[in-house]
Amino acid sequence: MVQQTFEGEVLTEPVVVEREFETVDMNINIGPQHPATHGVFRMVLTVDGEIVKDAIPYIGYMHRGGEKLSENLDYRGALGYQDRTDYLAAFNSEWVYVNAVERLAGIEIPERAEYIRLILAEFNRILSHFMFMGAFGTDVGYFGTAFTWTFKERERIQDLFEAVCGDRIMYNYFRVGGLAWEPHETFIEDSHWVLDQVEIGIGDVDELMTNNEVFVARCRDIGAMTADEAIAYGVTGPMLRASGVPFDLRVDEPYSIYDRFHWEIPVGERGDVYDRYLVRLEEMRQSVTILRQALDQMPTSGPIEPERMPARLRPEPGEIYMRQENPRGEYGIYMVSDGTDKPWRVKMRSPCFHNLSSLKPQVINTYLADAVVALGSIDIVLCEVDR
């Protein structure tokens, strides 16, 4: 390197002494009881200084054998386990399960029940994404602020759920064939009011986080995955869409009555943590759009369950893989019937299980602090990962 001064004097190249420092790799155990792991998740990181060289994730601390238990209960009895897999999106999980049983048994459900299910599930998507905003904001440095702001909005939605079904977390409100009971009289008005408030809340979160310099610096180009890489790992949901793949089961394999509404699929460009955040933020706004249309179209009266339902469900032998778009990705129920009143096989395909398996390529050769951010951007629910 030759430098020239203003006077034209040529300086000689500075002498650089290169010397290799010998470093020793160190294993760091994070979890299973650690606030940054969002549940009982454990990973053993091999670090070279601040750089992560290897990561071994350990899961299964929350494994309760929900599949085995569901196989030993009748078709209706196993519904409660769905609330306990993805507890942040319990309505969505319940919906997949009851849809699988209904398709397997050939049960038609009334239109009004379908609308109410969709409305509750979309509200639950907003609820779940608010939880992500709060927890992820805490990961990147908004200690308290993000949590309290988003929980204020979550309270409104949870109050609505409580008025509908009497519970705030474990709803158990959907039934095979319809709903447990009628929602309260002012359901539509309350929903509109909650939507108005929630829309303001989404704007608040947007203003708080999106353009914050520190937030962008912590999230940009962290944990980036290409589209092919994400697909190979079975990543679905907002993480896959952040990588630029417009794959949304509500559009690609339309189920229920999603073909009656108009909305857009937000897609990211770089596939990094910041895009995942942006995709989720935009998804909340799109959910509000869907909800407004659904609330306007919803029939105000009508049955919420079929006129005749068998006392004991005995679907004909057959199988179904029912999949729907949960807040975290593709939630699937693979159910096999052998003609008796119990399912022969129930497999829950949980999106977080596969999203989490892509953690290792994301964190290798990044800083240790960024590994925590990458983990937070997956939005894991360990109950759903372990089932």
Partner 1 sequence: MTSRRTPVAAEEPPGNEPPPGSIADTYREVMPLVSFDAAMTKGDDVALTIPLDAIHEVLERGRDDERLQMNLLRNQTAVDWEDRGLEIVYHLYSIPLRQAVTIKSWLPGEGAVVESVADLYAMADWAERECREMFGIEFIGHPDPRNLLLDEDIDIHPLRKSHPLAPIEMEQGVDVEFFTKQYPPPEPAEEEAPADTAAAAAPERKRVEDMTEEEREQRRAEQAERVARARELAAVRRAERLAGAPPAGGPRPEGAAPPPPPAAAPAAAPAAAEAAASSAPVQDDRPPAPPPPELPTIPDAEEDPEGRAAAQAERVRIGRELAAARRAQLRGD
* Cα gap 297→290, rounded to integer Å: 11
Angle at 383 between CA 82 and CA 44, to 5 degrees: 160
Q: Which among 304, 378, 360 has a CA at the least distance from the CA of 98?
A: 304
Shortest reach from residue 361's CB to partner 1, in Å: 8
Q: How many whole angstroms separate alpha carbon 354 and alpha carbon 328?
A: 11
Q: With CB under 8 A as the contact rule, which of the stretches 197-205, 211-219, 304-312, 313-321 interacts with partner 1?
A: 313-321
**Of the residues 154, 218, 276, 323, which one makes contact with partner 1 according to CB under 8 A:** 323
The CB-of-87 to partner 1 minimum distance in angstroms stands at: 18
Distance CA 97, CA 298 (A): 23
Is the Cβ of residue 99 or residue 191 nearer to partner 1 in the bound state? 99
Which of 128, 150, 236, 286 binds partner 1 (CB under 8 A)? It is 236
Q: Is 347 in the site for partner 1 (CB under 8 A)?
A: yes
Identify each DSSP E strand in the chain by its residue range: 3-4, 10-11, 26-30, 42-48, 51-58, 174-175, 178-179, 318-326, 329-337, 343-349
Residue 254 touches partner 1, criterion: CB under 8 A: no
Choose, by CB under 8 A, the member of 34, 53, 76, 103 that binds partner 1: 103
Q: Is 349 in contact with 331 (CB distance < 8 Å)?
A: yes
Closest CB 213 distance from partner 1, rounded Å? 35
- What is the rounded distance in angstroms from the CA atom of residue 66 to the CA atom of residue 58? 19
Q: How far is the CB of 5 from partner 1 (least distance, A)?
A: 55
Binding residue (CB under 8 A) for partner 1 from 48, 189, 253, 259: 253
- If binding is defined by CB under 8 A, does position 334 make contact with partner 1? yes
DSSP codes of every residue in 40-86 = S-EEEEEEETTEEEEEEEE--TT---HHHHHHTS-TTGGGHHHHTTS
Judged by CB, which is closer to partner 1: 193, or 344?
344
59 binds partner 1 (CB under 8 A): yes
Q: Which amino acid is at 318?
A: G
Binding status of residue 70 toward partner 1 by CB under 8 A: no
Site residues for partner 1 per CB under 8 A: 59-60, 63, 65, 67-69, 72-73, 103-104, 106, 228-229, 231-234, 236, 245, 247, 252-253, 315, 317-323, 330, 332, 334, 336, 344-345, 347, 349, 353-354, 357-358, 386-387
